Structure formats: structure tokens, C-alpha cells
């Protein structure tokens, strides 16, 4: 029973789903790559990517990996304690704390990750030279890892 209760608390959202191909001697091999964000809305969040020959298998695989690689986010009263920046590849994300009642001011993958982490008041800016959702998600996770009390 305890395992079922913890499964229900953890929520997952699909950030990106893409079809990837590999050339072999016999032709093209199709697979699907899923990027999934997982969180419990109580300060734990994770991002993972997985490939499989079927869409649902790729999503399930990525969700399991995301649950395994969850991080604890340092929060103070529904926001983050200080301004922080995260870089991954060409992606750059800036997270700023906000007063109570301002809401979640962010775009794209950053907004989804902050929602799943349980952050209610934050201002985020993606200062990226890329639209790559995986890199933006990883930059957000790296920024959240840098937080200190």
C-alpha cells in the first residue's frame, strides 16, 4: 500500500517527444526519445530522457529514470532563497525569488519544472540561444541544485 501512495503523489509531465533515426545496412531504424519532468510538488523534482521503439515505452522508461534522479530543492515560503543561474550546453536559465502572491512567471520547460517542484512564486528567464527543451530543462535543474539556505 505504501508504494501505491508514493506513486500517486509523484506527478510527471512530458516535455518533449521526438522521433530519432539511425541508419543501418538494412535501412532506417526508428526510435522515439521522450523527455519527462517528474515532481511531488513538495520540493522534489527530476528530469530524464529515454529512448525506445514505442512511444509509451519511452515515456515509462523516462519517468522511472526521472523518479530515480530526483533532487531536493531548497525553498523558503513557496519561493527560492536567492537569485541563481544555470547553464547547460547553449541553454542559460536565470531564476529570481518573488514576494508572496506574485505567482509563477516563467516560460516553457522552466515553468513546468518549477510547478512540479512546488515553487509558487518565482520569476524565471530563459536567456538561451537554443530552443532545445532538454537542454533548457537540464539548465533549470542545475540552477535549482545551486540553491543554498
pLDDT single digits (tens) 31-81: 999 999 999 999 999 999 999 999 999 999 999 999 999 999 998 888 999
Residues 6+ apart with CB under 8 A from 25: none
Model pTM score: 0.88
88-101 b/e (C-beta count within 10 Å ≥ 16 → b):
beebbbbbebbeee
Cell numbers describing residue 16:
518533449
> Is the pLDDT score of 3 beyond 90?
no
Amino acid at each position: 500500500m505504501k508504494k501505491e501512495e508514493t506513486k500517486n503523489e509523484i506527478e510527471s509531465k512530458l516535455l518533449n517527444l521526438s522521433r530519432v533515426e539511425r541508419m543501418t545496412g538494412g535501412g532506417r531504424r526508428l526510435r522515439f526519445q521522450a523527455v519527462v519532468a517528474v515532481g511531488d510538488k513538495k520540493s522534489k523534482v527530476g528530469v530524464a530522457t529515454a529512448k525506445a521503439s514505442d512511444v509509451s515505452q519511452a515515456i515509462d522508461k523516462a519517468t522511472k529514470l526521472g523518479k530515480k534522479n530526483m533532487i531536493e530543492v531548497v525553498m523558503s515560503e513557496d519561493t527560492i532563497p536567492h537569485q541563481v543561474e544555470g547553464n547547460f550546453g547553449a541553454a542559460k536559465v536565470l531564476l529570481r525569488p518573488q514576494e508572496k502572491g506574485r505567482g509563477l512567471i516563467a516560460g516553457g520547460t522552466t515553468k513546468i519544472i518549477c510547478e512540479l517542484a512546488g515553487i509558487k512564486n518565482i520569476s524565471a528567464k530563459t536567456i538561451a540561444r537554443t530552443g532545445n527543451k532538454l537542454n533548457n530543462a537540464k539548465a533549470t535543474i542545475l540552477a535549482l541544485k545551486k540553491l543554498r539556505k
